[in-house]
Amino acid sequence: MAKIKPIDFNAETFNYIKEDLTRELNLLLKNMEEMGSDSGKLSMAITVELEDKELDDGDEHTVPTFKHKIKSGFQVQHDCDGALEGDYVLEKGKDGNYQLSLLTEQLDMLEEEEDEAEPEEID
């Protein structure tokens, strides 16, 4: 084990993070391909903690801890299209909620209302 490790992502110091990142990226791509997704996301967070510790030499030293968390995800979207079209009119029902009525039924209802409003002629 080397006595000095540079704090550099291009050095072998952080190879374990790069290996995890590579593995997760390949897993994301595999899952996206299998599920038919065309968009995915891979994110990584690195937490650095510093702790003062007394080591074997009797001196206090700052000891770092580097933790990483890699998240990946993708969206699988299913579409279903349809439409309600045609001879419908929007109206407010007696309960105050909107409803759809067939246009022909609406016309029939209007005609019935007109008929009810006109007095019948008696011969």
Same domain, 17 and 70: yes
Which residue did the predictor score with more confidence, 49 or 89? 49
pLDDT of residue 101: 81
Element (H or E) spanning 38, and its range? Answer: none
Highest mean pLDDT: which range of 24-28, 77-81, 119-123 = 24-28
Angle at 23 between CA 17 and CA 24, to 5 degrees: 90
> Mean pLDDT, to the nearest integer, of 95-102?
83
Same domain, 57 and 29: yes
Residues comprising the chain, all counted: 123
Residue 5 is assigned to a structural domain of this protein: no
Residue 2 is assigned to a structural domain of this protein: no
| pLDDT one-digit tens code per residue, 39-73 | 999 999 999 999 999 988 889 999 999 999 999 99
Same domain, 69 and 21: yes
Enclosing domain of residue 110: 88-117
Residue 103 is assigned to a structural domain of this protein: yes
Same domain, 54 and 102: no
The residue among 35, 45, 22 whose CA lies nearest residue 74 is: 35
Number of structural domains the chain divides into: 2
